[in-house]
Every structure is written in C-alpha cells, then in structure tokens.
Amino acid sequence: MRLLLPLLLVLPALAARQPVRAREAMVVSREAHATDAGLAVLKSGGNAVDAAVAVGFALAVTHPSAGNLGGGGFLLARFADGRATFLDFRERAPRAATRGMYLDSAGRPTRDSRAGYRAAGVPGTVRGLELAHRKYGRKAWSGLLAPAVALARDGFPVTFALARSLRGHCAVFDEFPDSKRIFLKDGLYWSPGDTLVQADLARTLERIQRDGSKDFYEGETARLLTADMQTNGGLITLEDLKDYAVVEREPLAGAYRGFGILTAPPPSSGGIGLLQMLGVLEGTGYEKPGAGSAAALHMLAEAMRRYFADRSEHLGDPDFARIPVSGLLSKSYIEALRRSIDPERATPSLQVRPGRFAPAESSETTHYTIADREGNVVAVTYTLNGGFGAGVTAAGLGFLLNNEMDDFTVKPGEPNMYGVVQGEFNAIQPRKHPLSSMTPTIVLRDGRFYLALGSPGGPTIINTVLQVLVNVLDFRMNVREAVEWPRIHHQWLPDTLQMEKGFSPDTVALLRARGHRVRTVESQGEVAAILSDGGWLQGAADSRTEGTARGY
C-alpha cells in the first residue's frame, strides 16, 4: 500500500486534465502565434511539412530563446504511405575550428564556447526547412513565411513568460549592441503586453521569403553575417555558409512491447538512448508498482544512468566516427545492463562504466509536432543550444547566433554547460556536427501512426521523451496526463537523481533509502505530443510553458 501512495497523491490533480481533440489535423508548439500559423497552413490545404516550415519560421520571431534562423535541428517525418525520413540540419563547426580552441594557456575551458561570436557553429535551420519544403511540401514558399514576416514587421504582444525570459538574460544581452537594442526596451525591461517589433529580422525574413536559403548562405544575409563575424573575431566565413549541406538520414527504428519506434539517429544521442533504455525496461515488470512509485522510478533512473555512461564515450557525428549502434542496442548487451541493476539499491555512478564493443559497423531548445488530415506526421526539434544561444544578435540581421560549439567535447572528461561529460568521438573538428540530445520520436501501432512527441531541455530531452512514452504505453495515461506527469533525470555524472516538484515526500524518502542522491528542480522539459486513436487526434502542450495545442 505504501508504494501506491505517491500515485494516489498525484492522480487527482491529473485525472481531470484532458487533451485537445480534433478529427482532421493538429499542431502543438511552444507559442500560440506559431501554432496558429501552422494550423492556417493545414486548413488551406498544406500538408504537415508545409505547416512545419511555417511554424519554424514563426517561432524564430516569437520564441527567440530557441526558435531560430541562426541555429539548427532535426526533422523527423512519417508519411501516410509508410515512408519515413530524418533531416539533419544540425550546425557544423567552422573550417577554422580547432580541437583546443576553447582552452586557456593552462588547459582550462574558457567561456568562449558559451557566449560571443566564437561560440557559434554554422547554422542549418534555413537550409533544413527549405529542403523539407522542396522535397515534401506543396504550398508556395513565400506564403509559408508570410506569418513570420508579419509578426516581425508589425510586432506581437510580449507574454509574461517571454518578458520574464528576456529579463533573466539581460546581463548577456548587455554585452552585445544589437541584442541590447532589440531585447531590452530602451535599456529597460520589456513588460507583458508590450508590442515587440523586430524590423531587422523582418527584412532578413523578407529576403529569405523572396530568394530562399540562397540569401542566407550566399546572398546579402550571408555577406552581412560574415562581415560581422570578421569584425568581432568569429570563425564563420562565407565559404562555411556556402558549403553547408543538410544530411537526409534513415530514422533509427526499434520496437517496444509490440509498438514500432522511429526516432533520431546520430549525431543525436537521443534515439539510441531511448531504444537502449526501453530495451532495459522491457520484461522487468518495473511498471507493476505503478506510475510515480519509488520502485518504478528507481528502475528508470538506473536505466538512465547506464545509458549516459555509454553516451559519454561512444556517441558523436557518424560522418566522422564509427558509432557502435548495433553494439549499444544488441540484445545481449541490453540483457547485461538489465542484469547489472539491483532492484533495491542505486548503483554508484563510479561503478558504472561505458560498454566495450568491437569496431562498429559500416536548456534551451524547442519542439513542435504536427499531424495533417492525410495521415502525415512531422516532429521537429531545433535549437540555439543555451537560452538565446551565444547572446549575440548578428548586426543588422535581427537573429541570434547559436552557442552549439559548447556541445562538442571542449576537453575530454570536463562537463559542458549542462554538466554532461563527453569523450573523444565528440571532439572538435572542422565541418563536424556536435553531438545532440534532441529526440523527435514517432510511435507506430500496427504499422500506423500512434504517437509523436519531443522536447527541449539539453540532456534531459532523452529522459523526458522516455517518460512520456512509457506513461502512455505502460501506464495507460491519456496523452495530456502523460505530458503533465512529474519527471526525473539521471545522466550518470554528476551522480544525482534530479526530480521535479510533484512527487510525494514518501517517494523521495524511499529513493534516498535506496541510495539515490536526490535534487529537486522546478521544471524539466517542454513536451509537444500528438496521439492518434479511434479516429481522433489528441494534442497535448506542456503546461510547464505557454505551449498550445490546436486542431480542427
């Protein structure tokens, strides 16, 4: 009875929460104007890819901490005819990048990988969204960018959450003139209800609307960006921009309890982690004590701990390193991981080491999910890395630059800005993609679309997606309940179990008694999910944010 108490305490708060339901189509995103832009595209005859383009550009205006032109990401699509694809438009290291570029004379990591012009990798978002549209969309490009252009040119009301976010980053903006000019209001804070107009960004978007990605990578935007880089000691050159190419990859495919899983392949570490952890959990009966029980959370945490140990050594850009995907996901290795878990005691992280394999075979991000009336579904996660990226707004262009260079291994064994320890496979090299945790995922039931989801949150993304997925598949929650349920995170090092507020004191005490070092956090992740069942689409936007789910 004691193990069920946490479940009984949490369920009344969630039981009344219902997803948004629609018959035809659904858009779930972080911000209402972007959601509306995508829904308008679907209502006018566009497909899910068209809507994804409109949402992506709108978020670049209305959600500047993560929505972007100056970053990169992943797009996972599964079409009604059964085809699936994964577009990798992750940033790349500039040609001038070097292995030790962020170490001082004593070999210590500097701040340069996190803030300022030198922190930026070559952006991929504009070219990624354009390729998605060219290959899989059908509406006119110009019309898909029109909402973003209007929002930047005419402005939109600042929400409470945006005002708070801008205020929280004012010290960073103060270092860079264009960021200070745009994201501070005459040197003061923006207030909820103020109208934020971004004239420079509107002009940049108008050029992309007219000329496509050619403007961003070869035209006026490219020339202005590279001139600004040269003036301020940045590394990105016109050659870097011209050379940028999106990589279309096969989605990583797996299965769990009879459901098909399509998810992100490397250079994401998320898909491999999701499939490995699901494999460890399957067959353990971990779910029997119930969602929110200490026993179930203990098993989740131990699976997380083991995967993040593997992540520290074996994951990187597959174009530069041979990733042991088969080994990490092999039945025998997963069984060995499962056997290594003590169901009653936490394993100290220093006793958990990355697996050994034969040579391999040949804080701030945002996610949105879209399903159209034809049965196509698209899940997009894209980012600037940290909140507002490197803090730099490109002079005269109005968009923020990413700080994705910090996602590389600046120094093996040293934690990055998220506290994650990384290895040689992810060392800095010119034109290389940094390792990512972004995990857009689509679940199939009987070969048909059943659930699509993703989240921001740095390394917590992988564990957030895992928990929402098992909340639906194992604990039989509706998609809204699954998204709202409190979450945990373990990343091997530091040896800490992070728990959101919302778990009962009894649960926390039981986990501590098992040996877990618990730290409480306010919030983890920002899931956008759509589930298809019985002829209805069910959408859930995370109430941890101002996200919206809308359909028709």
Q: CA 304 to CA 287: how far, in whole Å?
A: 16
Q: CA 119 to CA 407: how far, in whole Å?
A: 10
- Residues 539 and 479 sit within 8 Å (Cβ to Cβ): yes
- Residues 66 and 90 sit within 8 Å (Cβ to Cβ): no
Q: CA 53 to CA 145: how far, in whole Å?
A: 8
Helix axis angle, 270-281 relative to 331-339, nearest 10°?
A: 60
Catalytic residue among 35, 204, 221, 365: 365
Two structure tokens written together for 380: 């997009």
Q: Report angle CA 215, 220, 221 to the nearest 5 degrees.
A: 70
> For residues 496-525, b (16+ Cβ closer than 10 Å) or e, as one string?
bbbbbebbbeebbebbeebebebeeeeebb
Q: CA 319 to CA 425: how far, in whole Å?
A: 11
Q: Which long-range contacts (CB under 8 A, 24 or more apart) does 418-424 make?
A: 418/363, 418/458, 418/459, 419/459, 419/491, 419/493, 419/494, 420/308, 420/311, 420/312, 420/458, 420/459, 420/491, 420/493, 421/312, 421/492, 421/493, 422/311, 422/312, 423/312, 423/313, 423/314, 424/313
Give the burial class of 344: count Cβ atoms within 10 A of its Cβ; 0-12 exposed, 13-18 middle, 19 or more buried: exposed
- Residues 442 and 379 sit within 8 Å (Cβ to Cβ): yes
Whether 365 sits among the annotated catalytic residues: the reply is yes
Please confirm whether the linkage preceding 343 is cis (ω < 30° from 0): no
CA 216 vs CA 58, 209, 223, 240, 402: distances in Å: 17, 11, 9, 12, 15
Chain centroid to CA 524: 12
- Residues 283 and 299 sit within 8 Å (Cβ to Cβ): no
Q: CA 330 to CA 395: how far, in whole Å?
A: 49
Two structure tokens written together for 59: 């978020």
Contacts of 177 (CB under 8 A, 6+ apart): 395
Closest Cα to residue 371, out of 188, 523, 551?
A: 551
Two structure tokens written together for 398: 């109005």
Q: Which residues are catalytic?
A: 365
